[in-house]
């Protein structure tokens, strides 16, 4: 009986550790991802994202401001993470080329 109780105490401790917060490994991985993301952003967008993340982290703002900050931050991140996401002149050339290709394909049908 005593052995079973010890086992359940270990389970409770493990569950508490899982609920209490992310592990060091998870934090390091998140940090690496954020650094990689930030390195791809132009300076103005990087500054905007930092401001948005600070707004979300500090809290105490009206819910509408938090919702706006969250939505805009998600938009910035999703724009960067889209497949074939290219920025600047290279991105424009790619988009123009894809548009012309679609037009040719429509004409052929």
Same domain, 52 and 78: yes
Q: What is the pLDDT of residue 18?
A: 58
SS3 call for 23? coil
Same domain, 36 and 46: no
Q: What is the pLDDT of residue 99?
A: 75
Same domain, 31 and 47: no
Same domain, 53 and 89: yes
Same domain, 101 and 57: yes
- Domain extent for 22: 1-40
For the ranges 7-11, 43-47, 49-53, which has the lowest average pLDDT? 7-11
Same domain, 92 and 102: yes
44, 76 Cβ separation under 8 angstroms: no
Residue 54: Cβ within 10 Å count: 10
User: Residue 61 CA to chain centroid, in angstroms?
Assistant: 21
Same domain, 50 and 103: yes
Same domain, 32 and 48: no
Q: What's the whole-number mean pLDDT along residues 44-50?
A: 92
Q: What is the pLDDT of residues 55-107, one digit of tens each?
A: 988 878 899 989 999 999 999 988 888 765 555 555 666 667 777 777 777 77
Domains held by the chain: number: 2
Same domain, 32 and 57: no
Residue 49: Cβ within 10 Å count: 20
For the record, the structure tokens of 64 come out as 């509408």
Does residue 44 register a pLDDT over 70?
yes
pTM of the predicted protein model: 0.53
């Amino acid at each position: 009986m005593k052995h079973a109780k010890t086992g359940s105490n270990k389970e409770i401790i493990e569950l508490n550790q899982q609920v209490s917060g992310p592990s060091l490994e998870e934090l390091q991985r998140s940090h690496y991802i954020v650094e990689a993301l930030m390195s791809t952003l132009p300076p103005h967008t990087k500054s905007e994202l930092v401001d948005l993340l600070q707004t979300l982290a500090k809290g105490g703002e009206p819910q509408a401001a938090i919702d706006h900050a969250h939505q805009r931050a998600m938009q910035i991140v999703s724009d960067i993470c889209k497949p074939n996401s290219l920025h600047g002149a290279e991105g424009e050339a790619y988009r123009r080329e894809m548009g012309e290709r679609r037009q040719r394909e429509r004409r052929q049908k």
